[in-house]
């Protein structure tokens, strides 16, 4: 059997842990998955998390992840993986989640005993058994303080890449100092989910990753350092130096060799002592590493949430969006939009359509897709008809910051007249196309400043649109995505669809271990990338006429959102 090297990427997401193994040619050779709800024992979780609704808290038991890690490694072994061939390990962690370690952590990590499981040994290393989850929205007060600390939301976004968000780790830590002051005092170190993965394999606490640290509202991206004023706020009534020690330093190189794998893994699974741990990053930064993404390409992850990702040399922060350091390439940034209402919101419409037809097709999306494709863009029979558009948020939304609700409008693109009305709407059928349009119009509205003309007099748009995640299987969604976002070369889906972030993490390990001095991630992965095997074109992108008509709709869409925001504020309703 060939002894060529292998690399593992772990994806520690909200609902599952995956371990994906690739070879130096970037081909996937093993995948193991541990579904938290289905496969764990002893945790009263739902969709991977626990909730305290009274305080809008969402959190996950860290011991669950320890159980998952040993089980995934065991499952890879059962599949036949020869761990001695694994030369590098990296990972992708759900963003913003934090792990609180006690003062025994370093010693317990260092002395891991291979005859016992991680779950038997490491809960004692934690000062707090839970990790706040990205769906948590308990930190409104703290977010207000973060938004004010540099004078405005705009200034905070300029410094840290984002305005304050409930889920971001800085506001979460500040709340922790207030809710659990005694535990905070006893906390020796704080990890992100990404650096937690690396810590498990290193046997000591790993530093934050240069990209994932930008999901905390604490890191000044331009200065390449923590922002002292914000750290002071975040430390609450405690010493700022204490917080600095808990956070630790942040190395710039995303391919850094953090150290060799701990003997626990050598003895228990047969890893080689020279297997090296490379910094794990956030799940979204890892997703853009699943292919040699060019700055003119866009990626849309259609999972439970929808995220829109671009790699760009421009740093243009705005309170409505996120900028992060690129996980591998200095001088590039990652642009991101993150929506809570993605797959779930589409599923509501899908189910309403199936119910109205009294049909439960074997392929549950069949009716939704047929109706979406038969409906004309924006519900217009001719270009002078009123455009139909709406917002469909079964859950409170992040972009824009609105409570749950549904709003339907008509828009006259000639006069700019916008009317809130359900007249002319046939529910649920008109909603199939309208919900997909609504989601993609929002993406186009917020990403238009980052796209440029591909030449030949064509309007600004991405070169390609790549779809990943569960929804990327859907041809109807792909077609509408191309009509709205454009993409001169078309809309593509990654062969590995649902496993993009684990794949990106594995590629990060390949790059970290096999790069030549100075060789960029894009260069190394680009050289080994086999386009015809790894991606598939699933829809056309730019279509003259339709793209321009949707351009007019974007203006109406922006007006519609403003209208709804004003309406919500006037009613004194709380945004999330
Ligand atoms: N054929 C399909 N058409 C549209 N959406 C789909 C299809 N198959 C799966 N999905 C959606 O994919 C989502 C799950 O995607 P996945 O990437 O696995 O999510 P996660 O964010 O949990 O990793 C679900 O919300 C589901 O509605
Ligand atoms: O909060 C964000 C990004 O800001 C989310 O995208 C989380 O990172 C989601 O992780 P999973 O859905 O993969 O668990």
Question: Are the C-beta atoms of residues 502 and 16 closer than 8 Å to each other?
Answer: no
CATH number, span 291-381+425-551: 3.30.420.40
CA 134 to ligand 2: nearest atom: 1
CB under 8 Å, gap of 24 or more: what pairs does 16-19 form?
16/48, 16/68, 17/65, 17/68, 17/69, 17/72, 18/72, 18/499, 18/502, 19/72, 19/73, 19/75, 19/76, 19/502
The Å distance, Cα 267 to ligand 2 centre, comes to: 33
Q: What is the CA radius of gyration of the chain?
A: 24
Token reading at 249: 């330093």
Residue 4 CA to ligand 1 center (angstroms) comes to: 34
**Nearest-CA residue for atom 12 of ligand 1:** 470
What does the domain layout of the chain look like in residue ranges?
6-138+188-216+250-284, 291-381+425-551
Whether 369 has a pLDDT exceeding 70, the answer reads: yes
Q: How many helices (H) and strands (E) does the chain have?
A: 21, 24
Please give the distance, rounded to the nearest whole angstrom, from the Cα atom of residue 332 to the centre of ligand 2: 21
pLDDT score recorded for residue 305: 85
Residues 6+ apart with CB under 8 A from 425: 379, 388, 390, 408, 431
Residues touching ligand 2 (Cβ under 6 Å) are: 13-14, 94-96, 134, 167, 283-284, 303-305, 307, 338
Residue 227 has pLDDT above 70, yes or no: yes
Distance, CA of 287 to CA of 284 (rounded, Å): 5
Give the ligand with the smallest distance to the CA of 324. Answer: 2
d(CA 374, CA 383): 17
Of 312 and 572, which is predicted with more confidence?
312
Please give the distance, rounded to the nearest whole angstrom, from the Cα atom of residue 544 to the centre of ligand 1: 30
User: Do 376 and 395 form a contact (C-beta atoms < 8 A)?
Assistant: no
Which of 302, 338, 499 has most ligand 2 atoms within 8 Å of its beta carbon, as the pocket-test mutant?
338
Ligand sitting nearest the alpha carbon of 47: 1
Confidence class of residue 573 from pLDDT cuts 50, 70 and 90?
low
Q: Which atom of ligand 1 is nearest to the CA of 468?
A: 17
Q: Which ligand has the minimum distance to the alpha carbon of residue 501? A: 2
Which among 235, 258, 263 has a CA at the least distance from the CA of 247?
Answer: 235
Predicted model pTM: 0.93
The per-residue pLDDT for range 452-495, each reduced to its tens digit, is: 999 999 999 999 999 998 899 999 999 999 999 999 999 999 98
| Under 8 Å between Cβ of 488 and 361 | no
Nearest-5° angle of CA 150, CA 157, CA 215? 110
For residues 79 and 71, the answer to whether their CB atoms sit within 8 Å is no
The pair of structure tokens assigned to 221 is 């991206």
Pick the residue whose CA is nearest to atom 4 on ligand 1: 471
Q: How far is the CA of 497 from the centre of ligand 1 (A)?
A: 10
Cα atoms found within 13 Å of the Cα of residue 216, Cβ hemisphere only: 29
Backbone conformation region of residue 424, classed left if phi is above 0, alpha if psi is from -120 to 50, else beta: left
Distance CA 60, CA 49 (A): 5
Q: What is the pLDDT of residue 304?
A: 79
pLDDT at 377 over 80: yes
Take residue 365 and report the two structure tokens written for it: 């999306």
DSSP secondary structure letters along 266-285:
HHHH---TT-EE---EEHHH
Rounded to whole angstroms, the Cα distance separating 98 from 116 reads 25
Average pLDDT over residues 91-119: 98
Q: Ligand 1 centroid to 391 CA: how many Å?
A: 20
CB 164 within 8 A of CB 171: yes
Ligand 1 mean position to 242 CA, how many Å? 42
For range 560-572, the mean pLDDT? 93
Ligand 2 pocket test, candidate residues 134, 171, 285, most atoms within 8 A of CB: 134
Q: Which ligand is nearest to the CA of 368?
A: 1
* Residues 109-133: tens digit of each pLDDT: 999 999 999 999 999 999 999 999 9
Q: Does the bond joining 317 to the residue before it have cis omega, within 30 degrees of 0? A: no
CATH number of 6-138+188-216+250-284: 3.30.420.40
Measured from the Cα of 11, ligand 2's closest atom is 13
Query: Which mutation among 12, 13, 33, 302 tests ligand 1's pocket best, with the greatest number of atoms within 8 A of CB?
Result: 302
pLDDT at 344: 83
Find the ligand nearest to 339 CA: 2
In this structure, which residue's CA is closest to atom 9 in ligand 2?
94
Q: Cα of 134 to ligand 2 centre, how many Å? A: 6
Q: Distance, CA 303 to ligand 1 centroid (Å)?
A: 5
What's the gap in Å between 284 CA and the centre of ligand 2? 7
**Helices 140-149 and 169-179: crossing angle, nearest 10°?**
120
**Backbone CA torsion sign across 428, 429, 433, 434:** negative
Q: Which protein residue has the closest C-alpha to ligand 2 atom 10?
A: 94
Q: Which residues contact 490 (CB under 8 A, 6 or more apart)?
A: 464, 465, 482, 537, 539, 540, 541
Predicted confidence at residue 384, as pLDDT, reads 87
**What are the pLDDT digits (tens) for 241-276?**
999 999 999 999 999 999 999 999 999 999 999 999
Residue 80 Ramachandran class (φ > 0 left, ψ -120 to 50 alpha, else beta): left
pLDDT number for residue 424: 86
At 2, the pLDDT band (50, 70, 90 cuts) reads low
CA 230 to chain centre: 24
What number does the ligand 1 atom closest to the CA of 364 have? Answer: 1
Residue nearest to ligand 1 atom 22, measured at CA = 304
Q: Residue 574 pLDDT > 60, yes or no?
A: no
Short-list 337, 364, 409, 426, CA closest to 556? 409
Please identify, by atom number, the ligand 2 atom nearest to the C-alpha of residue 135. Answer: 1
Domains 6-138+188-216+250-284 and 291-381+425-551 share a fold: yes
Question: How do residues 22-44 score in pLDDT, each as one tens digit?
Answer: 999 999 999 999 999 999 999 99
- Average pLDDT over the chain, rounded to whole? 95
Instruction: Decide whether any atom of ligand 1 lies within 6 Å of the 311 Cβ.
Output: no
What is the C-alpha to C-alpha distance for residues 408 and 361, in angstroms, rounded to an integer?
28
pLDDT of 1: 46
The CA distance from 162 to 154, in Å, is 8
One-character DSSP codes across 63-77: HHHHHHHHHHHHHHH
User: If you count them, how many residues does the chain have?
Assistant: 576
Question: At residue 576, does pLDDT exceed 50?
Answer: no
Q: Is 129 in the pocket of ligand 1 (CB under 6 A)?
A: no
- For the record, the structure tokens of 454 come out as 């591909």
Given a contact cutoff of 8 angstroms between Cβ atoms, the answer to whether 534 and 496 are in contact is: yes
- Say what the pLDDT of residue 527 is: 97
CA distance 301 to 500: 9
Which residues contact residue 485 at a Cβ distance below 8 angstroms, ignoring those fewer than 6 apart? 298, 300, 440, 443, 444, 447, 461, 462, 465, 491, 541
Query: Does 280 score more than 60 pLDDT?
Result: yes
pLDDT tens-place string over residues 314-361: 999 999 899 999 999 999 999 999 998 999 899 999 999 999 999 999
């Amino acid at each position: 059997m060939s002894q060529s090297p292998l690399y593992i990427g772990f994806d520690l997401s909200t609902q599952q842990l995956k371990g994906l193994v690739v070879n130096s040619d970037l081909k996937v050779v093993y995948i193991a998955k541990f579904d938290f709800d289905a496969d764990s024992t002893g945790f009263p979780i739902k969709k991977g998390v626990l909730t305290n609704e009274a305080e809008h808290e969402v959190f996950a038991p860290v011991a669950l992840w320890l159980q998952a890690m040993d089980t995934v490694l065991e499952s890879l072994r059962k599949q036949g993986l020869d761990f001695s061939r694994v030369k590098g390990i990296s990972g992708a962690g759900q963003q913003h989640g934090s792990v609180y370690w006690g003062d025994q952590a370093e010693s317990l990590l260092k002395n891991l005993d291979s005859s016992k499981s991680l779950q038997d040994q490491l809960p004692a290393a934690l000062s707090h058994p839970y990790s706040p989850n990205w769906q948590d929205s308990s930190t409104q007060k703290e977010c207000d303080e973060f938004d004010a600390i540099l004078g405005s939301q705009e200034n905070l976004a300029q410094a840290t890449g984002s305005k304050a968000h409930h889920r971001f780790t800085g506001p979460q830590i500040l709340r922790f100092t207030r809710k659990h002051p005694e535990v905070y005092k006893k906390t020796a170190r704080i990890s992100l989910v990404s650096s937690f993965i690396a810590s498990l394999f290193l046997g000591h606490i790993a530093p934050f990753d240069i990209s994932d640290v930008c999901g905390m509202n604490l890191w000044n991206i331009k200065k390449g350092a923590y922002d002292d004023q914000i750290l002071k706020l975040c430390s609450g009534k405690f010493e700022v130096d204490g917080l600095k020690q808990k956070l630790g330093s942040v190395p710039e190189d995303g391919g850094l060799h953090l150290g060799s794998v701990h003997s626990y893994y050598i003895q228990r699974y047969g890893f080689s002592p020279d297997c090296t741990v490379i910094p794990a990053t956030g799940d979204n930064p890892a997703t853009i590493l699943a292919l040699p993404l060019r700055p003119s390409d866009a990626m849309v992850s259609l999972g439970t949430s929808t995220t829109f990702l671009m790699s760009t040399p421009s740093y243009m922060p705005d309170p409505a969006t996120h900028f992060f350091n690129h996980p591998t390439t200095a001088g590039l940034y990652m642009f991101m939009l993150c929506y809570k209402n993605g797959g779930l919101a589409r599923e509501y419409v899908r189910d309403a359509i199936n119910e109205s037809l009294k049909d439960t097709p074997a392929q549950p999306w069949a009716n939704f897709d047929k109706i979406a494709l038969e409906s004309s863009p924006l519900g217009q029979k001719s270009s002078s008809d009123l455009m139909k558009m709406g917002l469909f948020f079964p859950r409170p939304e992040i972009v824009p910051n609105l409570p749950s609700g549904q709003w339907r409008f008509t828009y006259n693109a000639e006069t700019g007249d916008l009317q809130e009305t359900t007249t002319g709407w046939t529910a649920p059928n008109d909603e199939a196309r309208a919900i997909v349009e609504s989601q993609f119009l929002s993406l186009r509205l917020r990403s238009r400043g980052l796209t440029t003309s591909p030449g030949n007099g064509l309007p600004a748009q991405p070169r390609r649109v790549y779809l990943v995640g569960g929804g990327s299987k859907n041809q109807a969604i792909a077609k509408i995505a191309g009509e709205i976002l454009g993409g001169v070369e078309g809309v593509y889906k990654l062969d590995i669809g649902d496993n993009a972030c684990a794949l990106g993490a594995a590629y990060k390990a390949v790059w970290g271990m096999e790069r030549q001095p100075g060789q960029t991630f894009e260069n190394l992965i680009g050289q080994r990338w086999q386009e015809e095997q790894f991606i598939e074109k699933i829809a056309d992108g730019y279509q003259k006429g339709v793209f321009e008509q949707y351009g007019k709709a974007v203006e109406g869409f922006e007006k519609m959102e403003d209208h709804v925001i004003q309406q919500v504020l006037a009613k004194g309703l709380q945004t999330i």
